[in-house]
Amino acid sequence: MRNTLIICTALIILSACGQLENSNSTVISLSYEQTDIQKQFDTLYNYQQTSMGAYKGFIEQALAICHGDKTDTITQDVFSSMYLNQQTGRYDCITTTVFQFPNGTISATGIFKLTPGDTIAPDHNFPITGGSGVFKDIKGTYTREYRNGVYHVELKYNILQQEGY
């Protein structure tokens, strides 16, 4: 009985925290197009191809100039390690994205699958894993969607409350 009470209390607290989090969220909306992206690829495993256009793995680095509602220059620096999963025939992509603002950075990390030959990663939602400057103590979500030739980015986050000593 005591364990049930503790679990129920914890669920109520977590539920309340989630509701509070949503009401205080900050949202940054950005966009960029293919022409805003600079890319660099490095094929792994001595350029070993498993089939035409599919390598055992590669690394992609990309830098995109993002456009928002302010005139500040915001860059998105992406680093992806992509390894071909022999069972699925798709790349397992581990991606870290860092958004560089004039007053700090926001970083997010996540995983998605990519079919060899695809040139655009699927839409994704990654957790925000850190930040610096004014974004030092945040948590949230990085969402990226591709529609009609435009990448749409939403950074939704909350500042974590620091307890006093």
CA distance 51 to 90: 12
Contact 32, 76 (CB under 8 A): yes
Q: Tokens for 50?
A: 């498993």
- The per-residue pLDDT for 24 is 83
CA distance 147 to 42: 27
pLDDT tens per residue, the chain (165 residues)? 444 333 333 333 333 344 334 568 999 999 999 999 998 776 655 556 676 667 777 788 899 999 988 767 899 999 999 888 889 989 899 999 999 999 999 999 999 999 888 888 999 999 999 999 999 999 999 999 999 999 999 999 998 876 554
Contact 144, 106 (CB under 8 A): no
* 3-state SS assignment for residue 132: strand
Q: Structurally, what CATH architecture does the domain formed by 27-159 represent?
A: Beta Barrel (2.40)
Going from N- to C-terminal start, the domains of the chain cover: 27-159
- The per-residue pLDDT for 14 is 39
Contact 153, 66 (CB under 8 A): yes
In degrees, rounded to 5, the angle at the alpha carbon of residue 31 between the alpha carbons of residues 30 and 34 is: 150
- The per-residue pLDDT for 43 is 62
- What count of other Cβ atoms lies within 10 Å of the Cβ of residue 40? 9
- The per-residue pLDDT for 159 is 87
Q: Tokens for 37?
A: 């992206």
What's the mean per-residue pLDDT of the chain?
81
Beta bridge partners, 97, equal: 78, 108
Beta strand 124-133 with 49-51 is unpaired
- The per-residue pLDDT for 162 is 60
- The per-residue pLDDT for 140 is 97
- The per-residue pLDDT for 23 is 61
CA distance 59 to 121: 14
